[in-house]
Copies of this chain bind each other. A is one copy, B any other.
Amino acid sequence: MSTKPQLHTILSPRLLDIYDVTNSIVVIIDVFRATSTIATALYNGASRIIPVDTVDKCIQLGKTTGGITAGERDGKIIDGLQYGNSPAEYSRTFIEGKTLVLTTTNGTRLLHMALQSGASEVVTGSFPNISALCDHLITQKKNIILGCSAWKDRFNIEDTLFAGAVIGRIKEHFTIHCDSSLMAEQMYALHHNDIKAFIRHTTHWHRLAAYGLESDLEYCVSPDLANILPFYRNGDLVIA
């Protein structure tokens, strides 16, 4: 009998409470673009990122912390906030040493849900930090939930592909009896050589490419360009 820890993949925040998350590591995945932006801003020296679920909270925390306020709804910068949810906005010269207060559509919500569900650790993942994430998951030897943020609770391809990429790298270390994980792994295996072409078929691509964000989306599926691991601790996302 195997004593390896278990790994499950959830395809929508709506499905999180089906699983026992207690004492597990939950990986928040929002490839387009929250968790790509989070990795990038921290990689480039942001002192911390405060993820919030409402615009009002974002503006208020921007005032009290002196942080930069940023966020998007439906792919567009929100009135009253200073910046958007594009990793390209957060260069080192701009973000180093600063606090970023970030509100996003899907990723932030799942981050808060994961914490409330009793996870022992909440981290974020996307292609720009895939190696740092996988190295951590292998060494911890704990149960894992790969949590796809989806789009307004609807299944999306890009978060699934990332889950599949992670599973392909770490599966030898885990017990996996989970059809979502099996599907994700196979979808990534099918497309790892044409991922920048394939993401052009996703609904999210059509939504965001209308705003001229093609280069952003290609960045978000490029491995290890911001290879640090964000941990969610005491309300902040920080590097360990």
Contacts and interface: CB of A to CB of B under 8 A. Distances in A.
Nearest to A157: B179
> In the assembly, how many copies of this chain are there?
2
A115 interface: no
Contact of A157 (B11, B154, B182): B182
B153 A179 contact: no
Given A190-B186, A190-B190, A155 B202 contact: no
Q: Interface residue tally of chain A, by bracket?
A: 20 to 34
A88 interface: no
A15 to B, nearest CB: 6
A12 interface: yes
Which interface residue of A15, A157, A160 has the most chain B CB atoms within 10 A? Answer: A15
Given A177-B206, A183-B187, 6 more contacts: A11-B155, A12-B12, A15-B153, A18-B153, A18-B154, A155-B183
20 contacts: A11-B12, A12-B12, A12-B14, A18-B153, A18-B154, A154-B178, A154-B180, A157-B182, A157-B183, A160-B183, A177-B203, A177-B206, A179-B202, A179-B203, A182-B201, A182-B202, A183-B183, A183-B187, A186-B187, A190-B190
